Structure 1
């Protein structure tokens, strides 16, 4: 793998943030202290832009709003699919690291980005099994 793969929220997620900022603007302009309300859309925009997952030759890095945690390939024991389809890295130390912005449907892309280090040959099963309705 030559360049890192980056999984992040789509930039279109910023559209509701802009709408929120426009809705807050009349109230924020009322007095000087209500300008602090504009920090809400700024914080949400930072969260949208910052959160993500990077897959490199060194390992998998989960980026959160205020920090990041890298799990080297040598410490990766597997991946757990949560009840809601969220993905968790399971380490050899029996700790788990949530992969933000990735869901069970993203497993094939994550496996491809890992360069064969993550095997998803068997599809993940959902709790309670698949029910046709």
Structure 2
């Protein structure tokens, strides 16, 4: 029997290679930025993209979820999470006790099994088949012990 190791925390974030796209945007904007005085402000767009890529994330550990957006941070203990809701575009939102929904940046449906694992059983893994009600688990026979 294998023992499943649970990591101390999981971080869901935009890949850092996305910064390369922002740098390419800055290079492509250079002719436009130097075409007239004041247009160099166009460089603020790639800088904002880089800050966004480096800042936005969701961190999950055994005790809580921490979401960081461009301008804020929200700590959500697992005890406050009633459920997770998946939108049409595979975005995941946490439904809290008062029915309010909080978005979990960069978390997608493919991450739900990992969230269920790190939550310590507070969330169900949607990829596991539920056990039929009233059917006892199969006991190992003597032949299986050999």
What is the TM-score with the length of structure 2 in the denominator?
Answer: 0.75
97-106 vs 113-122, greater mean Cα deviation: 113-122
Counterpart in the other structure of 2:109: 104
For the pair shown, which has the larger CA radius of gyration, 1 or 2? 2
Give the distance between the partners of 1:122 and 1:81, measured in 2 at CA. Answer: 14
Count of aligned residue pairs for this structure pair:
123
Q: Runs of 5+ in structure 1 lacking a partner?
A: 124-133
SS at match of 2:93: strand
Q: Runs of 5+ in structure 2 lacking a partner?
A: 1-5, 129-146
Give the distance between the partners of 1:34 and 1:114, measured in 2 at CA. Answer: 49
Give the distance between the partners of 1:73 and 1:110, measured in 2 at CA. Answer: 11
Give the distance between the partners of 1:40 and 1:111, measured in 2 at CA. Answer: 37
What is the TM-score with the length of structure 1 in the denominator?
Answer: 0.82
Runs of 4+ displaced beyond 6 Å: none
Aligned residue among 32, 52, 55 for 1:47: 52
- The equivalences for 1:1-133 within 5 A come to 3-122=8-127
